[in-house]
Amino acid sequence: MVFFQICNIFAENFEKKMKILGIGNALVDILAKLPNDELLKELNVEKGSMNLIEEKMRNDLLEKIEIMDLKMTTGGSVSNTALALRQLEAPSGFIGKVGNDEYGKFYINELTEDGVDLHLIYESGFSGTAIAMITPDGERTFCTYLGAAAGMQASEIQKSVLEQYTHFYVEGYLVQNHDLIEGAMKMAKSLGLTIMLDLASFNVVASDRAFIRELVEKYVDILFANEEEALVFSGKTSTGEAIDDIARYVKTTILKEGDKGSWIKYNEELIHIPIYKKVKPIDTTAAGDYYAAGFFYGMVHGAGLEKCARLGSLLSYYIIQVIGTKLSPETWEKIREKAKEILNS
């Protein structure tokens, strides 16, 4: 019975022309493939973490990696999800803040070209950049200079923008600005939007656990977390205990366990979804962002939770096989065909 109720909820959203608006840090990713872990040790950063840095460290780090084969692409967790949704021909919007530099222009051009409805805030100065260091095991570690993104304020978010959407997707990386993330969620909730949060990174959760738990309890309807994030958030020692703990706060919990698949809990219903296919990851950047895009694509089409998760796994499978956050037009064509097969199965 519960499973069919879930389907009906998503079908109702579809009838209401479900539209997802994301809010997050507007960043340009600078991707560097490292030969080993030595640079991470030199920087004293934990592998797989996201670290906020100042402008001087950004400049120093850019000097250290300039001899490597670098790639530049648009970044930011929710921004990646919005782009992937548009490639699936589903509507998506994005709120973020950019500067008036070359990175800001690059970011705007890329997202506009791909059809994301941008609701950007502009300021003078540098745009945010995230240096993603990818080790041979495919793990990525971020050193992020937020630049203009750090200056986004709740007062800059317009009610008229939120009113155009049904669902509001928030990245946990915004937690460094308490007023912004809580103000945005509060406004969206008052307008009747479904609030969805991705916990972003285990060290982000660890740095502000009490505040994040309070946000989740007060505002969040759907929560995405990977295994490490869920364990830190819950304070538990197993994923089973962690998902049970999170489910006390939200209607729907999605817990991702990498190559072990993902778990979804809705009320008392617990579903396990295996990965799409086994593959050695080249770069795990945006794996969670693409999972969310696939999941949302299923929601937009009124699919049940299992199909939504299968679609998430499908997108994750493809993005971890490339460096960065972009896939080729040919790959997207394959994904759209396979996504339709899942929806119709």
Domain residue limits, the chain: 2-344
Give the model confidence (pLDDT) of 43-59 as tens digits.
999 998 889 899 999 99
Give yes or no for a contact between 261 and 273, defined as CB atoms under 8 angstroms apart. Answer: yes
CATH for 2-344, options being 1.10.260.40, 3.40.1190.20, 2.60.40.1930, 3.30.300.30 = 3.40.1190.20
pLDDT score of 10 = 47
The neighbouring-strand residues paired with 265 are 253, 270
The neighbouring-strand residues paired with 118 are 94
**In the chain, which residues have pLDDT < 50?**
1-15
pLDDT score of 3 = 42
DSSP-based three-state secondary structure for 246? helix
Can you give the pTM of this predicted structure? 0.88
Q: Give the total residue count for the chain.
A: 345
Tokens representing 202 are 């285990």
**Alpha-helical regions (H) of the chain:** 2-15, 38-43, 55-65, 77-87, 102-113, 159-162, 178-190, 202-207, 209-219, 227-234, 239-247, 287-300, 305-319, 329-344
Distance CA 180, CA 215 (A): 12
98: DSSP letter:
E
Give yes or no for a contact between 226 and 246, defined as CB atoms under 8 angstroms apart. Answer: no
Distance CA 35, CA 246 (A): 38
